[in-house]
Structure 1
Amino acid sequence: MASTPSQSTPQPPSAFVLPEGLSADSIDTIPVLSAILSRLQSLSASPAANAASPPAASPAQIGSGTGPLTIKDIPTATDDLKHKLQRARAQVKELPDIDRSVAEQEEEIRELEERIRRQREVLEQLKDAGLKALGELGGAAKNPDAMET
């Protein structure tokens, strides 16, 4: 039973290649945000608490990711994070099939599931034919005169 593949459905590549530099690390923001927030000085309403707090970070410390931060330092401290997210957005837009709709993807899934079902049927038929052939060989081995050459 031979079936012809549907010519209206383009076959997806067997392996997608991610854009250069796109990895889980390139879009993971939790560690970066955690580091920035841990540097944020706690703000208190009492002037005595503010006097006891460490001095604000220098621009070099802010840029290098060290030293305490104040609220006004956050935009500068998060510049690297913003750029990282911008690069990740641009790379994600380059992924193959990113413009496909959910309906198109669901249709492809249905077609692939049907293809798998047909392949399983063929494998089952091959298994049955193999078992039948084995049974016939077993019978022929018992009666050598019945074996054709």
Structure 2
Amino acid sequence: MSNKLNTQSNLYSENKQALILLSTFFSKPKKGEASPLTAAEYGRFARWLHEFHYTPCSLFHQFDEIAVKWKDPKGKITTDRLANILDRKAAMGLALEKWQRAGIWVITRQDSEYPQLLKKQLRHISPPVFFGIGNIELLQKGD
């Protein structure tokens, strides 16, 4: 099964994987489990990452460096929370495989298929991850 998980996760760039981990539930949360970032929280964190020349996948390779520098002005996105959220790779792999089998596509704000009108209107609070079924090209229609 781990080969399947690795294969499924390899279909997505590290940045996409990091963004999905940071902002997506994979099952009903257990009591005391760290919740993924909300759209507003992700927007705030993403702006900070960009300002300091990091990308979401920098968390995989430079977590300690980022943890030292990052201080959430609202105190909600702690480094412990980030570490717990990022520690769900196996759950993400299973979810991605399940969604793919069900015909569900997953796009992130960084993908060209992401609805540009939504991005333009909501800017930094647009949903980091978008799920759907069917013709993904319909997302670009403004009507």
| Shorter-chain TM-score above 0.5 | no
Structure richer in strand, relative to its length: 2
Query: TM-score, normalized by length of structure 1?
Result: 0.26
